[in-house]
């Protein structure tokens, strides 16, 4: 599933291609996404120009002039790109929006169809929807907030980091990478961390995500940015997906275990669980 760095890359790619341009047409495929596209949305979007495109957690918001906000989630395999209208249409393309100004279109392709679209006509409703599901962005998070949230749960650190209401945007890949950077075992109970360890983890999350954004995210299977380019951060993984490979610090083979239903990769020597 695309995580914060991948979604941020899509937004940054799409921003110069969409802002100031209007939706001229909307073509909806026969198969529904996680939620069915409401045909009434077409009249609310056609003819309106994109004022801004932003990211909140793993969600994308497009704001249109005089009103609506289109909320997009890429799901597990969603690709949100601008392509030449004459370019052959790939399989599993479920939505297409013709754009003003040039012969290209905004396309949403999703093999597994877990992606979703929602339309909000009132900004407060959009913000309430997101705030009910998401904690703060992981950049410059207040250290006291972070420590309080971790000290208030007995869940393993890996499970806590995956909780979008605690901190927004972190998923399986970057939780593993941040825990490795902070030298913390993924199964350590969150409330067992010292204040120093909490701060080390908070900084590791931020540093890892910034580096991943600089690398345009991680392409493992389906992910591509809004311009169609792949990510490169997968070439810099220190823990995720490296089972059996030598640790970049101590050369101990990386191990994997299941936590909160997800594979968790770690170095058994560098990341020792608190006693």
> Is 58 a known active-site residue?
yes
Specify whether the CB–CB gap between 146 and 186 falls below 8 A: no
What burial letters (b/e) apply to 111-150, b meaning 16+ CB within 10 Å? bebebbbbbbeeeeebeebbeeebbbbbeebeeeebbebb
Neighbour tally for 191: CB within 10 Å? 12
From the list 58, 107, 149, 158, the catalytic residue is 58
From the list 2, 138, 156, 186, the catalytic residue is 2
**Nearest in space to 70 (alpha carbons), one of 78, 59, 82:** 59
Specify whether the CB–CB gap between 84 and 103 falls below 8 A: yes
Q: Give the CA-trace dihedral at 117, 119, 123, 127, to 10 degrees.
A: -30
Neighbour tally for 196: CB within 10 Å? 8
**Nearest in space to 51 (alpha carbons), one of 17, 21, 72:** 21
User: Residue 46 carries which DSSP code?
Assistant: B
Neighbour tally for 44: CB within 10 Å? 17
From the list 44, 113, 211, 262, the catalytic residue is 262
From the list 3, 6, 8, 177, the catalytic residue is 3
β pairing state of 93-99 and 23-28 = antiparallel
Task: State whether residue 175 is helix, strand or coil.
Answer: helix
**Catalytic site positions:** 2-3, 58, 262
């Amino acid at each position: 599933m695309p995580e914060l760095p991948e979604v941020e890359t899509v937004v940054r790619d799409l921003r110069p291609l969409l802002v100031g341009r209007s939706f001229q047409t909307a073509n909806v495929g026969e198969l529904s996404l996680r939620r069915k596209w409401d045909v009434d949305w077409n009249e609310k979007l056609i003819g309106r120009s994109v004022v801004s495109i932003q990211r909140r957690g793993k969600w994308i918001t497009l704001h249109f002039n005089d009103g609506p906000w289109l909320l997009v989630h890429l799901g597990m395999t969603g690709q949100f790109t601008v392509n030449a209208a004459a370019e052959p249409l790939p399989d599993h393309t479920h939505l297409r929006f013709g754009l003003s100004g040039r012969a290209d279109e905004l396309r949403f392709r999703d093999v597994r169809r877990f992606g979703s679209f929602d339309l909000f006509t009132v900004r407060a409703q959009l913000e309430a929807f997101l705030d009910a599901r998401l904690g703060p962005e992981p950049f410059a998070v207040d250290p006291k907030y972070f420590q309080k949230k971790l000290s208030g749960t007995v869940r393993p650190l890996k499970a806590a980091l995956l909780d979008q209401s605690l901190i927004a945007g972190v998923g399986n890949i970057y939780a593993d990478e941040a825990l490795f950077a902070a030298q913390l075992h993924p199964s350590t109970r969150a409330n067992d961390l010292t204040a120093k360890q909490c701060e080390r983890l908070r900084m590791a999350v931020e540093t890892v995500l910034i580096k991943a954004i600089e690398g345009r995210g991680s392409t493992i299977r389906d992910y591509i940015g809004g311009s169609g380019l792949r990510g490169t951060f997968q070439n810099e993984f220190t823990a995720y997906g490296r089972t059996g490979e030598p640790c970049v610090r101590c050369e101990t083979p990386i191990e994997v275990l299941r936590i909160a239903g997800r594979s968790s990769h770690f170095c058994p020597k560098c990341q020792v669980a608190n006693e």
